[in-house]
A = this chain, B = another copy of it.
Amino acid sequence: MEFENKENRTEIGSLGEFGLIKHLTEKIIIKNKTTIKGIGDDSAVIDFSKNKTLISTDVLVEGIHFDLSYTPLKHLGYKAAVVNFSDIAAMNAKPSQLLVSIALSNRFSLEAVEEIYAGIYMACEKYNVDLVGGDTSSSERGLFICPTVIGEADEKEITYRNTAKPNDLICVSGDLGGAYMGLQVLEREKSVFKVNPKSQPDLTGYDYILERQLKPEARTDIVDLLKDLKVKPTSMIDVSDGLASELLHICTGSNVGCSIYDEKIPIDEKTFNTALEFKMDPTVCALSGGEDYELLFTVDISDFEKIKGIRELTIIGHVTEKESGINIISRNGTQNPITAQGWDSILKKE
């Protein structure tokens, strides 16, 4: 891998911890007025005046959440930031500050860490977020990235996941299952490579689903769109573990049931065809494949006129009384309960 064999390899140890932090962060220009003090003291200082502070963290572990044999380090940095931004979007708000802690072994050169940070900075630039802190450490083995994201919101705008109510419409942004199918393609090419190391990976034509897996986006644009439409969702969550798992979170949290319609679930043509190629059911991929980072939300039925016909949004069903259960209805009208088969990291043997 590039970061291991590079000729002009610089050892991180030559900089020391403080040197490394300085090197990685000295070009930061603060973008948000709310950032009073960024990197360089014992803590960052943020001023949200009357708004509430939102904070969330999602850790990414080598061998569990990413495989460096097919994940470019810059994409990894980008994704680590974006999946955290998505948690703030899922509160119907926008991220503004980020802290990133990284632990890594001496397998990684300075150039490798720079690539990870280049991805983090690219995400910060795109989403108008300030990197205000973090920590770097060595590890005995492997790479760990632990970002913490902060955002702000007016209390009236914050949308929780436990406040859906019967008759609400269930909506999802974009399309689902793509990130999961992208992962299947990458894993297949990795297996081929293992058998025949001279083989070249054949990724032609899979661009869309590969990008869904390797360079996901946080749907802060949907947060803006809903504001423009004057729609305040009644509940919201991001699709990180798969549609089924997120629906269960909303329904059990809100003490309601739901009916969603198989044929309504938005699946991109490329995702659909790749699923068939892998002899998988595209609906199952959308339900159980995670990492799409789309927003799943409910709106009051009175908002139907505002939502319908918006290209980026799909109404996939509606909220019911708890007693009706959490169900998916197929094209032929049969009803089946939804169970979580979400992507769940399994503990690895040491």
Contact = CB atoms under 8 A, between A and B. Distances in A.
A105 interface: yes
Given A54-B44, A54-B45, A160-B37, A101 B12 contact: no
A55 B140 contact: no
A305 interface: no
Contact of A43 (B55, B133, B138): B55
A280 to B, nearest CB: 23
Contacts of A120: none
Interface of A: 11-13, 16-18, 36-37, 40-50, 52-59, 61-65, 87-88, 90-91, 97, 99, 101-103, 105-107, 132-135, 137-142, 144, 146, 148-151, 155, 158, 160-162, 236-238, 253, 344-350
A349 B138 CA distance: 10
B42 A52 contact: no
Given A53-B46, A54-B44, A91-B42, A59 B135 contact: yes
Nearest to A58: B135
Interface centre among A17, A41, A161 (most CB of B within 10 A): A41
Contacts of A11: 347
A59 B91 CA distance: 26
Nearest to A87: B42
Given A55-B150, A57-B101, A144 B144 contact: yes
Contacts of A135: 57-59, 146
A347 B20 CA distance: 12
Given A133-B57, A138-B345, A48 B45 contact: no
Nearest to A151: B43
**5 smallest A-B Cβ distances: which pairs?**
A43-B56, A42-B90, A146-B146, A106-B347, A105-B350
B64 A139 contact: yes
Nearest to A36: B52
